[in-house]
Amino acid sequence: MIIDQHAAHERILYERALLWMESHSSFSQQLLIPVKTTLSKIDFHLAKELNEEITNLGFGLNFIGDETVEITGVPSDVRLGDENKILLGLIEQFKEYELKLNLDKRDNLPKSFSCRSAIKSGDKLTPGEMTNLIDDLFACKMPYVCPRKADRNTNHD
């Protein structure tokens, strides 16, 4: 069996994100040292507008001024050190999906998060990580397709 590790991880993260958002109980890692990031005014206001949903994913955000966000917590699936990159990517992906697909934010945000947080195709995994990935994938409701392939209008990059 050949498994695309990015698509598999994306499916796993998508289903977890949906569950977290529906149950309002994510698994968040609180950061010992908060990470500050500067956003464009548009991205800052979008993050503020989506704060409740982003919090349900597991992010902890404090809004400072008109452009600065302090990340105090991240979903348990985010690798430490990637907090800033994942938040910025999540916002960018959300805008892209909103523009191209006109998705409801309850579907857009989990798809955006899973797309930007998933391991990449070239990332090296240990045998244990590979086994866990396969186990988690086949515990999914729909293990056969990544969330973006489920939408016929989306291109999988």
CB 5 within 8 A of CB 125: yes
**pLDDT category of residue 26 using cuts at 50, 70 and 90:** low
Q: How confident is the model at residue 121 (pLDDT cuts 50, 70, 90)?
A: confident
> Would residue 19 count as lying in a domain?
yes
CATH of the domain at 123: 3.30.1370.100
Looking at every residue in the chain, the average pLDDT score rounds to: 88
Tell me the residue range of the domain where 75 lies: 5-150
What's the total number of domains in the chain? 1
Structure tokens at 93: 């992906």
What local confidence, expressed as pLDDT, does residue 20 receive?
85
pTM of the entire structure? 0.83
In a domain, residue 57? The reply is yes
Question: b/e per residue, 93-110, with b = 16+ CB within 10 A?
Answer: bbeebeeeeebeeebbbb
Mean pLDDT in residue range 138-156 = 72
Residue 67 contacts residue 20 (beta carbons within 8 Å): no
Residue 64 resides in a domain: yes
The answer to whether residue 98 is domain-embedded is yes
Residue type, 134: I
Using the Cα atoms of residue 137, residue 142, residue 148 and residue 152 in order, give the sign of their dihedral.
Answer: positive
Look at residue 58 and tell me if it is in a domain: yes
For residue range 64-93, list pLDDT tens digits in order.
988 999 999 998 888 888 899 999 999 999
Residue 96 included in any domain: yes
